[in-house]
Structure 1
Amino acid sequence: MEGTDFTGKVVLVTGGSRGMGKAMVEAFAARGASVVIASRRLDACEQLAREVRDRHGVAALAVACNVSRWADCDALVDTVYRQLGGVDVLVNNAGLSPLYPSLDEVSEALFDKVIGVNLRGPFRLGSAIGTRMAAGGADSRGGSIINISSVAAIRPGPHELPYAAAKAGLNALTEGMAQAFAPAVRVNAIQAGPFRTDIAKAWSPQTLARIEQGVALCRVGEPAEIVGAALYLASDAASFCTGAVLRVDGGVR
């Protein structure tokens, strides 16, 4: 893809040690970027960082971070700026959607956890890093922020309402931050459909069949299939694209 040489760039991916996050880390590293892999499991981040350094010969920094915690987000930002000098691309990928038996049985703790990871974390990281990216105006280093949203934001189902509400909020943050940090920073979202990630491990065969029937391509996505959209939105090829929400969902009906 034209314009996707990221040599000299620093790319931070939350939830970066597995699934779609891992696929994006690998893709950016393969194109010369220094990568920051952040998730709650430091051991998994460190293992991937070693693999990336060995395979691609780029800098790879592993940082433990629970993005639902304000202090963890601030510590992550401070660590990355201190050790790597800045961030050129932020990918707010960390997310979770726990199962629950019924809406009236959603606990306060579960609701807060879903909102914390899927909305509060991207808000804090986007605000902190976007502000630094934008400092100095159009002539500054600038950057790109990519929020990983979900088709649930516009097609909410009864079994994922807290998650859907958080992702709808993330879509709103995307458009608002695109205005707040312009013109130096572009902020976009990828509205992902069903992908074969850790969340999919909880799906029964019947659930998977139902999901696939609701997708025009009749299947769920593989983690690597998020990569093209992420590379595009992070690159100069998307230089006139901000505030956009790009669906990558196989054609969810």
Structure 2
Amino acid sequence: MNGKVAVVTGGSRGLGKAMVRAFAQAGADVVIASRKVEACEELAEEIREEYGRRALPVACNVSDWSQCDALVETAYAEFGKVDVLVNNAGLSPLYPSLDQVSEALFDKVIGVNLKGPFRLSSLIGSRMAAGDGGSIINISSIAAIRPDTNAVPYGAAKAGLNALTEGVAHAFGPKVRCNAIQCGPFATDIAAAWPENAREFLGRQLALGRVGEAEDIVGAAMYFATDASAYCTGTILRLDGGWR
């Protein structure tokens, strides 16, 4: 990825952080976007010191249309291009029951998981298509096809993200490739909210016998970010350890 520029939303922790570090190690400059800019700044400093790459921290709530626009303008002003966009920011707040899901919660889930990726893919994809091309990677979830009762709005948003993936691939092809990584359970920060023994329970549902660790996403992300996947677009790759 020497000479490439990658933008990663939700890039300061969890799966996003693992991808940012992998891209930088492979020679890319990175834009680290998250709601908490302090965490982005901390990771950016690590990237500069460890890999000698340029790293730009940007505060961005992707559910806000204008903040998505500002992120794009900031990235292009700093680097002049974006070669890889990773729509990784996501959330799934807990709720007691479906009838108690508030409109605000529903809108927030759709905003972060679907609205933001749509806006960023539209803006950056159009610039990629007008230039030298690029790769867009959406981080989806097994919930898109098998939603748990505790994550129905989230599953609906991720199903929309899967549809968005194929639509964007056709809208901006052939120069731009757009693919999705459909993740199973990963033991990132979200695991802190899991019930006791959840890791063991989930592991028993998986062919590989364990939940994923953040670094497990790196191989798939590198594949889609590079020419290794030159003939792959509009694809939803399951990365779930073999979910039943």
Q: Same fold (TM over 0.5)?
A: yes
What's 2:61 paired with? 66
Question: What is the CA-CA distance between 1:218 and the residue it aligns to?
Answer: 1.8
Partners of 2:203 and 2:95 in 1: how far apart? Answer: 21
SS for the counterpart of 1:98 is coil
Gaps (5+ residues) in structure 1? 1-5
Partners of 1:218 and 1:99 in 2: how far apart? Answer: 26
What's 1:48 paired with? 43
CA contact (8 A) 1:90 1:144 kept: yes
In the alignment of these two chains, the number of paired residues is: 244
| Residue 88 in structure 1 maps to residue 83 in structure 2 | yes
Partners of 2:204 and 2:103 in 1: how far apart? Answer: 33
What's 1:99 paired with? 94
Pairs within 5 Å for 1:86-235: 86-135=81-130, 140-235=131-226
Question: What is the CA-CA distance between 1:210 and the residue it aligns to?
Answer: 2.8
Residue type matched to 2:28 in 1? A
Residue type matched to 1:115 in 2? I
The TM-score normalised by the length of structure 2 is 0.98
The TM-score normalised by the length of structure 1 is 0.95
SS for the counterpart of 2:149 is coil
Residue type matched to 1:99 in 2? L
Question: What is the CA-CA distance between 1:90 and the residue it aligns to?
Answer: 0.2
Question: What is the CA-CA distance between 1:205 and the residue it aligns to?
Answer: 1.6
Gaps (5+ residues) in structure 2? none
Partners of 2:200 and 2:42 in 1: how far apart? Answer: 34
CA contact (8 A) 1:171 1:245 kept: yes
Percent identity reads 68
Partners of 1:219 and 1:37 in 2: how far apart? Answer: 29
RMSD: 0.8
